């Protein structure tokens, strides 16, 4: 589903050029749950941004669902982000002036989905993350864990082919972290492909595959049997 | 992107920072309010002046003969009769000339201004009222037979006789070394009745009106005239009648093309006044438009701040699928709505303001659909013009740079 070949990304810092990604090749299949790990500066976030079509690369090839994305225009990329990719950010990135439901409906607004369907699908997504009863709350009225669950609902509301999470638990305490990990496992068991960037082995152990990064190259790519979290308790 | 969502988003953002939005709008509010008030009061004043001029004589033609050698025969009473008979639009025609002299009763002698003309004088004279309080005005018979009659006003009657019912009394009028004994046939409303007691009226000359024929019998050099007032029915008749009159007089006096006669009217003067007034209005409106310009710069400034503040929001929106165009529309919409709300508030304040100013000046302000449309178009234009740069700046942000922005 995701197929990158010899991807290079070069940053110019002052007079020096830094290769953030040095001919990285990676293939991710549908239904996988992959963690990308590595120290800061290793290039894992750069890879994530390229995979998420938020950033462009200097050379190499990126096939997403059989489409070569390197020649696409900004607005074509925006459409693919809208339809195919769901993002979960470390700092949630919710719209402060919108309520929970409006936040989750936002990708559908950009996807030109009519209001009635938007609302139905947003409520469905929120129920999936256990927030079916918080629709009208403003995002500053809910806890950090709830915020991230809203962000996950927003990421899955357009039924993307892949969910990309960049340090999704970086701003959360350990209990809510486990909640988020449990939701990821549930979504993955229902067929959602997940790519997660993290620097914590504690998080990575819940995924099915870990890609280790260092200095812009993949140093290790391991498959593992994920540690399964117990079913969610009914709140 | 749906217009409704954009609209709601823009309103949310504007209301999220009420104080800031209001201060941003203030320039627009002041600009629009001043433009509206100036136009409404200015148009009201122009209308007032037009009305006043119309009452004074929007249907009045002033005919003058250029008479360098004082021959005095360029316009005669025969001319007046021919003009009145041959041009049916002429309602009244009379010389409107005055002589200084004295007037006396048995008890009292006073300075006087003697007006003389045809019986139509009562309708064209600006010296004396046409409202009779006693008797009658001198008529065509008096005029044709050159009767020794006169009309005076209340003030004159009071000064000479100490009473108003003086019809039938005799007065003695001296002008141009001639003396006439005239019988009073009518008394008209006093010119200074309103100002009674305001100043010493004994120093003001009394007003007397008499038939031109009577005067010219006594003073032959006054038989001709060089200034005549003509009254027509409607404003539209002024120009055609003016040229007919001049043409006819030129033919009768064999002076075609000599530019002896010219006809002027109040409308020409009115045009001049209106020109000056509209120049003045436009000048002040231009000053107000500068306030609007400053307001627009305020909008641009705050939109730039807003774009910077919301860089991460823009990045998130782009990650969720917003295209360059949707972000552009979102921010443009915001600046347009900001300007439009400012424009509406300005319009309201402008209307209130112009009513207050017009009330103090005792005129009626005039609002046109044009000025309301001007407000809508102008505020939208300000919103677009000053919003496009910040909106483009927001729209062209690279998603990853925007998301990483601290």
- The tens digit of pLDDT for each residue in A97-140 reads 889 999 999 999 999 999 999 999 999 999 999 998 989 999 98
Instruction: Give contacts of A52 with chain B, Cβ < 8 Å.
Output: 319
Instruction: Give contacts of B8 with chain A, Cβ < 8 Å.
Output: none
Give the residue among B86, B126, B125, B95 at the shortest CA–CA distance from B223: B95
B267 pLDDT above the threshold of 70: yes
B260 pLDDT above the threshold of 50: yes
B195 pLDDT above the threshold of 60: no
CA dist., res. B383 & res. B56, Å (int):
47
User: What domains are there in chain A, each with its CATH number?
Assistant: 30-58+68-223 (3.40.50.300)
Residues ≥6 apart with Cβ < 8 Å to B229: B60, B61, B62, B63, B92, B93, B94, B95, B96, B124
Structural domain ending residue among the three candidates B259, B291, B309: B259
Q: Report if residue B265 sits inside a domain.
A: no
Nearest CA in chain A to B400: A54
Give the residue among B166, B159, B153, B180 at the shortest CA–CA distance from B107: B159
* The pLDDT value given to residue A228: 79
B160 falls in which pLDDT band (50, 70, 90)? confident
Interchain contact B8–A (C-beta under 8 A):
no
Residues ≥6 apart with Cβ < 8 Å to B56: B266
Q: Are residues B100 and B42 in the same domain?
A: no
End-to-end CA distance of chain B: 28
Give residues 316 to 355 of B whose Cβ lies within 8 Å of A.
316-326
> Token pair for residue B326?
């949707």
Give the residue among A146, A98, A52, A81 at the shortest CA–CA distance from B313: A98
Distances (CA, A) of B357 to A58, B282, B346, B353, B362: 68, 18, 16, 6, 8
- The tens digit of pLDDT for each residue in B106-151 reads 888 888 888 898 888 888 877 777 788 888 999 889 988 889 999 9
Distances (CA, A) of B34 to B282, B286, B328, B338, B349: 12, 10, 31, 18, 9
Share of chain B above pLDDT 90, in %: 25
Q: Report if residue B121 sits inside a domain.
A: yes
> Token pair for residue A1?
């589903």
Arithmetic mean of pLDDT over chain B: 85
- The tens digit of pLDDT for each residue in B202-218 reads 677 788 899 988 988 88
> Token pair for residue B106?
């048995």
Q: Are residues B324 and B397 in the same domain?
A: yes
Interchain contact B16–A (C-beta under 8 A):
yes
B327 falls in which pLDDT band (50, 70, 90)? very high
CA dist., res. B1 & res. B272, Å (int):
55
* Count of residues making up chain B: 406
- The angle subtended at Cα A104 by Cα A99 and Cα A109, nearest 5°, is 105
How much is the average pLDDT of B251-256?
82
CA dist., res. B374 & res. B380, Å (int):
10
Instruction: Give contacts of A89 with chain B, Cβ < 8 Å.
Output: 316, 403
A74-84 and B324-361 helices, crossing angle to 10° = 100
Determine which of A11, A46, A50, A54 to mutate to test the interface with B (most B C-beta atoms within 10 Å).
A54
Interchain contact B396–A (C-beta under 8 A):
no
The separation between CA A40 and the C-alpha centre of its own chain, rounded to angstroms, equals 18
CA dist., res. B316 & res. A95, Å (int):
9
Nearest CA in chain B to A96: B313
> Token pair for residue A53?
């079509």
B224 pLDDT above the threshold of 70: yes
Interchain contact B310–A (C-beta under 8 A):
no
Question: How near does any CA of chain B get to the CA of A100, in Å?
Answer: 15
Instruction: Give contacts of A74 with chain B, Cβ < 8 Å.
Output: 323-324
Instruction: Give contacts of A110 with chain B, Cβ < 8 Å.
Output: 1, 317, 320-323, 326
Residues ≥6 apart with Cβ < 8 Å to B134: B157, B164, B165, B166, B167, B186, B187
Nearest CA in chain B to A53: B319
Structural domain ending residue among the three candidates B259, B281, B310: B259
Do the bridges between strand B206-211 and strand B109-117 make them parallel or antiparallel, or are there none, so unpaired? Answer: parallel
* The pLDDT value given to residue B335: 92
Q: Are residues B223 and B359 in the same domain?
A: no
Q: Report if residue B58 sits inside a domain.
A: no
* The pLDDT value given to residue B340: 92
- The tens digit of pLDDT for each residue in A27-46 reads 999 999 999 999 888 889 89
B29 falls in which pLDDT band (50, 70, 90)? very high
CA dist., res. B224 & res. B227, Å (int):
10
Asked if A81 and B1 come within 8 Å (Cβ–Cβ), the reply is: no
* The pLDDT value given to residue B65: 84
Q: CA B154, B160, B166, B170 torsion: positive or negative?
A: negative
* The pLDDT value given to residue B45: 86
A231 falls in which pLDDT band (50, 70, 90)? low
Give the residue among A205, A146, A139, A141 at the shortest CA–CA distance from A171: A146
CA dist., res. A112 & res. A83, Å (int):
11
Nearest CA in chain B to A157: B320
B237 pLDDT above the threshold of 90: no
Is A74 in a helix, a strand, or coil? helix
- The angle subtended at Cα B262 by Cα B257 and Cα B264, nearest 5°, is 150
> Do A172 and A88 contact (CB within 8 A), yes or no?
no
Is A131 in a helix, a strand, or coil? coil
Determine which of A110, A111, A161, A167 to mutate to test the interface with B (most B C-beta atoms within 10 Å).
A110
Q: Are residues B21 and B47 in the same domain?
A: yes
Interchain contact B272–A (C-beta under 8 A):
no
Q: Are residues B291 and B361 in the same domain?
A: yes
* The pLDDT value given to residue B61: 87
Share of chain A above pLDDT 90, in %: 74
Higher-pLDDT residue of B304 and B238 is: B304
Determine which of B11, B12, B320 to mutate to test the interface with A (most A C-beta atoms within 10 Å).
B320
* The pLDDT value given to residue A92: 92
Q: Are residues B121 and B254 in the same domain?
A: yes
A235 falls in which pLDDT band (50, 70, 90)? very low
Asked if A78 and B318 come within 8 Å (Cβ–Cβ), the reply is: yes
* Count of residues making up chain A: 235
CA dist., res. B15 & res. B25, Å (int):
12
Q: Are residues B246 and B225 in the same domain?
A: yes
Q: What number of other Cβ atoms are within 10 A of residue B274's Cβ?
A: 15
* The pLDDT value given to residue B234: 83
* The pLDDT value given to residue A152: 95
A233 pLDDT above the threshold of 60: no
> Token pair for residue B385?
């013009």
Q: Report if residue B310 sits inside a domain.
A: yes
Q: Report if residue B341 sits inside a domain.
A: yes
B69 falls in which pLDDT band (50, 70, 90)? low
* The pLDDT value given to residue B199: 59
CB pairs under 8 A between A and B: 64
Q: Are residues B126 and B254 in the same domain?
A: yes
Q: Are residues B38 and B134 in the same domain?
A: no
Report the phi/psi class of residue B128: left, alpha or beta, with left for phi > 0 and alpha for psi in -120 to 50: beta
Interchain contact B5–A (C-beta under 8 A):
yes
Arithmetic mean of pLDDT over chain A: 91
Asked if B403 and A93 come within 8 Å (Cβ–Cβ), the reply is: yes
Question: How near does any CA of chain A get to the CA of B328, in Å?
Answer: 13
* ipTM (interface predicted TM): 0.93
Higher-pLDDT residue of B195 and A5 is: A5
B56 falls in which pLDDT band (50, 70, 90)? low
* The pLDDT value given to residue A85: 95
3-state secondary structure chain B: CCHHHHHHHHHHHHHHCHHHHHHHHHHHHHHHHHHHHHHHHHHHHHHHHHHHHHHHHCCEEEEEECCCCCCCCCECHHHHHHHHHHCCCEEEEEECEEEEEEEECCCCEEEEEEEEECCCHHHHCCCCCCCEEEECCCCHHHHHCCCCEEEEEHHHHHHHHCCCCCCCCEEEEEECCEEEEEEEEEEECCCCHHHCCCCCHHHCCEEEEEEHHHHHHHCHHHCCECEEEEEECCHHHHHHHHHHHHHHHHHHCCCCCCCCEEEEEHHHHHHHHHHHHHHHHHHHHHHHHHHHHHHHHHHHHHHHHHHHHCHHHHHHHHHCCCCHHHHHHHHHHHHHHHHHHHHHHHHHHHHHHHHHHHHHHCCCCCCCHHHHHHHHHHHHHHHHHHHHHHHHHHHCCCHHHHHHCC
- Which residues of chain A have a Cβ shorter than 8 Å from any chain B Cβ? 49, 52, 54-55, 74-75, 78-79, 81-83, 87, 89, 93, 95, 97-98, 106-107, 109-112, 154, 158
If you compute the radius of gyration of chain A from its CA atoms, what whole number of angstroms results?
Answer: 18
Distances (CA, A) of B25 to B6, B101, B350, B351: 20, 69, 15, 18
Q: Are residues B200 and B73 in the same domain?
A: yes
Q: Report if residue B237 sits inside a domain.
A: yes
Domain of residue B49, residue span? 3-53+271-404
B196 pLDDT above the threshold of 70: no
A234 falls in which pLDDT band (50, 70, 90)? very low
Which region among A192-196, B120-124, B308-312, B332-336 has the lowest average model confidence (pLDDT)? B120-124
Interchain contact B13–A (C-beta under 8 A):
yes
How much is the average pLDDT of A10-22?
87
Structural domain ending residue among the three candidates B231, B259, B287: B259
Task: Give me the number of domains chain B comprises.
Answer: 2
B361 falls in which pLDDT band (50, 70, 90)? confident
Q: Are residues B225 and B82 in the same domain?
A: yes
Nearest CA in chain B to A81: B321
Q: Are residues B339 and B243 in the same domain?
A: no
């Amino acid at each position: 589903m995701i197929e990158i070949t010899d991807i290079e990304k070069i940053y110019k810092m002052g007079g020096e050029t830094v290769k953030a990604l040095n001919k990285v090749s990676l293939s991710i299949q549908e239904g996988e749950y992959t963690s990308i790990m590595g120290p800061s500066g290793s290039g894992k976030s750069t890879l994530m941004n390229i995979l998420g079509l938020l950033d462009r690369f200097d050379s190499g090839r990126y096939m997403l669902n059989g489409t070569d994305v390197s020649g696409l225009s900004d607005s074509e990329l925006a459409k693919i982000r809208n339809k195919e990719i769901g993002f979960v950010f470390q700092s949630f990135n919710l719209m402060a002036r919108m309520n929970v439901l409006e936040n989750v409906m936002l990708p559908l607004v950009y996807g030109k989905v009519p209001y009635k369907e938007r609302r139905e699908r947003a409520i469905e997504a929120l129920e999936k993350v256990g927030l079916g009863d918080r629709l009208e709350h403003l995002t500053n009225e809910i806890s950090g864990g709830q915020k991230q669950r809203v962000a996950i609902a927003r990421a899955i509301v357009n039924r993307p082919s892949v969910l990309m999470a960049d340090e999704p638990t970086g701003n959360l305490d350990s209990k809510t972290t486990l909640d988020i990990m449990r939701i990821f496992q549930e979504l993955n068991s229902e067929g959602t492909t997940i790519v997660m960037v993290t620097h914590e082995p504690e998080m990575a152990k819940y995924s099915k595959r870990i890609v280790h990064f260092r200095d812009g190259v993949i140093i290790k790519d391991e498959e593992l049997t994920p540690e399964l979290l117990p079913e969610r308790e009914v709140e | 992107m749906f217009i409704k969502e954009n609209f709601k988003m823009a309103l949310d953002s504007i209301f999220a920072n009420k104080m800031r939005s209001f201060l941003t709008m203030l320039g627009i509010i002041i600009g629009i309010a001043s433009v509206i008030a100036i136009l409404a009061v200015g148009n009201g004043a122009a209308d007032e002046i037009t009305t006043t001029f119309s009452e004074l004589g929007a249907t009045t033609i002033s005919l003058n003969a250029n008479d360098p050698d004082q021959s005095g025969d360029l316009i005669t009473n025969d001319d007046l009769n021919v003009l009145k008979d041959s041009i049916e639009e002429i309602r009244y025609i009379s010389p409107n000339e005055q002589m200084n002299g004295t007037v006396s009763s048995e008890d009292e002698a006073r300075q006087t201004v003697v007006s003389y003309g045809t019986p139509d004088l009562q309708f064209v004279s600006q010296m004396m009222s046409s409202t009779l309080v006693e008797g009658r005005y001198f008529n065509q018979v008096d005029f044709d037979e050159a009767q020794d009659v006169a009309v005076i006003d209340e003030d004159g009657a009071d000064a000479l006789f100490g009473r108003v019912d003086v019809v039938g009394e005799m007065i003695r009028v001296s002008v141009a070394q001639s003396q006439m004994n005239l019988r009073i046939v009518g008394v008209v409303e006093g010119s200074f009745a309103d100002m009674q007691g305001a100043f010493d009226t004994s120093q003001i000359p009394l007003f007397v009106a008499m038939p031109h024929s009577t005067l010219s019998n006594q003073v032959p050099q006054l038989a001709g005239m060089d200034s005549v007032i003509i009254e027509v029915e409607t404003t539209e008749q002024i120009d055609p009648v003016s040229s007919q009159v001049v043409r006819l007089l030129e033919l009768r006096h064999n002076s075609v093309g000599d530019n002896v006669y010219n006809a002027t009217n109040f409308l020409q003067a009115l045009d001049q006044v209106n020109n000056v007034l509209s120049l003045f209005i436009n000048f002040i409106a231009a000053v107000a438009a500068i306030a609007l310009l400053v307001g627009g710069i305020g909008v641009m400034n705050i939109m730039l701040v807003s774009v910077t503040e919301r860089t991460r929001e823009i990045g998130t929106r782009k990650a969720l699928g917003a295209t360059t165009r949707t972000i552009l529309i979102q921010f443009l919409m915001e600046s347009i709505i900001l300007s439009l709300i400012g424009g509406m508030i300005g319009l309201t304040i402008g209307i209130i303001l112009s009513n207050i100013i017009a009330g103090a000046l005792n005129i009626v302000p005039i609002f046109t659909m044009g000025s309301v449309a001007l407000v809508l178009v102008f505020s939208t234009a300000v919103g677009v013009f000053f919003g496009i740069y910040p909106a483009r700046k927001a729209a062209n942000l690279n998603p990853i740079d925007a998301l990483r922005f601290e």
